[in-house]
Amino acid sequence: MKIYYDDVFLQHKPDGYHPENPNRLKIIRKAFEEKGLWKNVVKPKKAKVEDLLRVHDCNYVEFIRDACQKENFIDSDTYVCRESWDSALTAFGCAIHCVENAVNNRDLHLALVRPPGHHAGKKGVAFNAPSLGFCLFNNVAGAVVKAKEFFDRVVVIDFDVHHGNGTQEIFWDDLSVIHIDFHEFGIYPGSGALEETDGTKINVALPHYSNDDDYIYAWNEVVEPILADVKPKLVLVSAGFDAFKDDGLATMELTEKFYAFAGSRLRDFSVVAVLEGGYSIGLERGLPAFVEGYIEGYDVESVMPSAKVFEVVKKLREIHNLR
């Protein structure tokens, strides 16, 4: 595993309390150090404006640059400060840097970045969302564009508890980008229904209070057939850990079990995992479990999904003709 990190990510900070704050990365570092995982740390490259323009509209990029000079909230829940511009450019560049290294080095390339990005669309707010959801630029989208230079098809797995509406919007109608998004349906940002697809955008919209067995069952029935069909050499992950039980912003009930399982199921691939959400216990316990699953493996013998999740997955397999 290689960790991509820079203290510049701590400089993006709110004036007062906000769940998306620099302490998130401090929680991760402490947990990693305690488990002996804080090693092989790489200083990421900083993106150029030209890199941003491969994903985002020019007017939106200029809007964010100007907003950072004014140090204020740009919508109901997304803040900026003067340092946010450098933090965001480095976060975006970090995701690209990971792909450059991952293409020829099969490993877990972990981008511990802030601000997060999967809610940011081409022009900002995406799919009628009420806000940017703490995001400025779509980091994983930058990774996708870089990956498309090397591969005909790109697979993105997003298991943040919220739907990655920005990523979906940016690559809508781009059938070379397979975007599999696990999320709690019916919460922010309001998008991501099962039927919401262009053919390669797969929304695993799960009910409230879904647990490890529900997620693992859905992964086995949806993700595994797609990976077997595509046979990607590289998998991109929007790695959010806010579906962990009691993390704070949702009702899902995941534990280390799912995250270790997910990491283990990606061991055969080079993986670029870009940090999205996770605000407390999810970062402390879920992220290390994902890493350990990738490094060491993790076996799950059988699962018992709820009746609701069984029906969701059945419908999803029918929509996407998964065999």
Q: Kindly state the tokens that stand for 155.
A: 């697979």
CA pair distance 185, 164, nearest whole angstrom? 12
Query: For position 215, which CATH number holds?
Result: 3.40.800.20
Nearest to 210 by CA among 171, 236, 244, 249: 244
- Cα angle at 212 between 108 and 234, to 5 degrees? 25
CA pair distance 125, 134, nearest whole angstrom? 11
- Find out whether 144 and 121 touch, Cβ atoms under 8 Å: no
Query: Could you read off the pLDDT of 113-162 as tens digits, one per residue?
Result: 999 999 999 999 999 999 999 999 999 999 999 999 999 999 999 999 99
Nearest to 86 by CA among 27, 9, 153: 9
State the residue range of the domain holding 162.
Answer: 2-319
**pTM (predicted TM-score):** 0.98
Q: pLDDT grade, residue 323 (50/70/90)?
A: confident
CA pair distance 98, 103, nearest whole angstrom? 9
Q: Is the pLDDT of residue 71 over 90?
A: no
Residue listed under structure tokens 């609701």: 308
Residue 106 bridge partners (DSSP): none
Instruction: Look at the chain and report how many structural domains it folds into.
Output: 1
